[in-house]
Amino acid sequence: MGCVSMIEVRFHGRGGQGAVTSAELTALAAIAQGKYGQAFPSFGPERRGAPVMAFVRVGEEPIRSREKIYEPDVVVVLDPSLPEIVDVQSGLKENGTVVLNTRKSIDEVRREHGFNCRLAVVDAMSIAMDVLKVPITNTTMLGALIKASGILPLEALHEPIKHRFGPLGDKNFEACRRAFEETVVEE
């Protein structure tokens, strides 16, 4: 993503999957790195399992905008079924990236959903089940976000994740690191 002074990320998930937590952890990690970070959810009449969005901005300079992110640089999709019902690449900037939790290859995803952007894929569900023993992919997908965008160094997430998840923090960071290693990014 180069020398951009601010990177805007939109997370798509389902209620209860941790999209809001992912955005918050990213912002906290950015602030700990001496950058500026802002995270916020998009709330409506959501319920557990319903599609939700969360947003994060990371910048080198103070962030003045408080509005929803309409043209993200990166979109992170926590639930592989969402592209069937939500246009996850809506508003994506030219040269933007969609980071998708899926077992499918980039070619399969492109054929199935018609994406016309740069893609990154990782089987975050398998990693979460293997490492965390629960089907919650939010911290796992943070590793994929880092790999695909370079928004922050991977290690920047360690302390915020440990702080948020206490005794389960190291396991969550292990899932994050493993996703970073296993994410396939289209060049």
Q: What is the pLDDT of residues 83-135, one digit of tens each?
A: 999 999 999 999 999 999 999 999 999 999 999 999 999 999 999 999 999 99
Please state, as a whole number, how many other Cβ atoms lie within 10 Å of the Cβ of residue 155: 12
Q: Up-side HSE of residue 40: CA atoms within 13 Å toward CB?
A: 10
Instruction: Report which DSSP code applies to 114.
Output: -
pLDDT of amino acid 187 = 82
* Half-sphere exposure (Cβ direction) of 139: Cα atoms closer than 13 Å: 29
**At 3, is the pLDDT very low, low, confident or very high (cuts 50, 70, 90)?**
very low
Mean pLDDT of 60-75: 93
Residue 173 vs residues 13, 50, 51, 115, 131: alpha-carbon distances, Å: 19, 26, 25, 30, 10
Check if CATH label 3.40.920.10 holds for domain 6-185.
Answer: yes
Q: Which residues contact 89 (CB under 8 A, 6 or more apart)?
A: 75, 96, 98, 115, 116, 117
Instruction: Supply the pTM of this predicted model.
Output: 0.94
In percent, the amount of the chain with pLDDT more than 90 equals 85
